[in-house]
């Protein structure tokens, strides 16, 4: 698979999750979003296995260094996102009784792109490699994918307890479009508001 390098020996970016890297990608996602996904997919081992088993490989950009995935950005486009699995898959994995509250929580995270929109639904960099520019490169690559699919906008959500991620998005051209206050979720999921951010995309953002 052809990748994008930074010319400085940093990670190579790939436009799909390589076969065999599913568990690693699931682990990165879980480490970053376990607090949010836990109520839907706990215990952690089951959650990670569920994510790994239902990945849509072509909906993730991954950063690979020394043969290891060190970062991932997942997105929704054309009706599919990086993390898959429908109601039937949740029922099969967790059984009817344990599935119902999980499906309710997963429904909270359901995001459907509008026409001409790419929705980024998760970005995570290995904890030991944050602050080195990998997240920024993943964002640029996601924007390039959007441009190459003729999208005019990238959309994402950021929670109120993650101001550093929000600062990163703002530096990359995202602006807040609206904030939904969700105080009832603070105890269950650890955040009390979700801000939707937009970044306009032009053909000049395409890589090819
Ligand atoms: C957010 C995240 C993907 C950024 O990746 P990164 O490779 O560290 O990003 P970059 O090196 O390109 O840019 C660094 C900037 O990212 C932001 N950032 C957010 N969380 C950070 C963290 N834990 N460590 C370092 N930078 C972080 C800051 O704006 C930082 O700039 P600063 O050092 O001036 O504050 C990464 O920190 C991460 O995986 N965090 C946990 C998961 C998460 O919060 N995802 C976003 C959900 S909306």
Cα of 90 from ligand 1 centre, angstroms: 31
pLDDT digits (tens, 9 = 90+) for 23-61: 999 999 998 888 788 888 888 999 899 999 999 999 999
What CATH number is given to the structural domain containing 108? 3.40.630.30
pLDDT at 1: 67
Task: Write the DSSP assignment of 46-114 as a string of letters.
Answer: HHHHHHHHTB-GGGEEEEEETTEEEEEEEEEBTTB-SB---HHHHHHHHHHHHHHHHHHHHHHT---PP
Residue 185 in domain: no
Q: What's the mean pLDDT in 134-146?
A: 97
More reliable by pLDDT, 97 or 134: 134
Residue 87 in domain: yes
Residue 1 in domain: no
Q: Are 143 and 154 in contact (CB under 8 A)?
A: yes
Ligand 1 contact, 133 CB (< 6 A): yes
> Which of the four pLDDT bands, split at 50, 70 and 90, describes residue 185?
confident
Of all protein residues, whose CA lies closest to atom 41 belonging to ligand 1?
A: 32
Q: What are phi and psi of 29, to 5 degrees?
A: -60, -40
Residue 130 in domain: yes
Residue 197 in domain: no
Q: Are 35 and 63 in contact (CB under 8 A)?
A: no
pLDDT digits (tens, 9 = 90+) for 58-84: 999 999 999 999 999 999 999 899 988
Q: Are 47 and 34 in contact (CB under 8 A)?
A: yes
- Total domains present in the chain: 1
41: containing domain: 12-151
Residue 181 in domain: no
């Amino acid at each position: 698979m052809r990748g994008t390098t930074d010319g400085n020996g940093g990670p190579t970016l790939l436009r799909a999750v390589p076969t065999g890297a599913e568990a690693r990608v699931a682990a990165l996602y879980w480490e970053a979003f376990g607090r949010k996904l836990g109520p839907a997919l706990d215990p952690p081992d089951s959650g990670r296995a569920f994510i790994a088993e239902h990945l849509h490989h072509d909906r993730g950009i991954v950063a690979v260094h020394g043969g290891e995935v060190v970062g991932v950005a997942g997105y929704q486009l054309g009706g599919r996102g990086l993390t898959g699995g429908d109601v039937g898959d949740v029922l099969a994995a967790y059984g009817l009784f344990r599935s119902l509250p999980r499906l309710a929580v997963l429904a909270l995270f359901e995001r459907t792109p509008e026409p001409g929109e790419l929705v980024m639904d998760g970005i995570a960099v290995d904890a030991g490699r944050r602050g080195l520019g990998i997240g920024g490169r993943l964002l640029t690559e996601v924007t390039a994918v959007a441009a190459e699919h003729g999208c005019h906008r990238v959309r994402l959500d950021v929670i109120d307890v993650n101001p550093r991620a929000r600062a990163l998005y703002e530096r990359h051209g995202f602006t807040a479009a609206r904030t939904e206050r969700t105080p009832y979720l603070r105890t269950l999921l650890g955040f009390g508001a979700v801000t939707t951010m937009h970044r306009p995309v032009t053909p000049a953002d395409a890589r090819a």
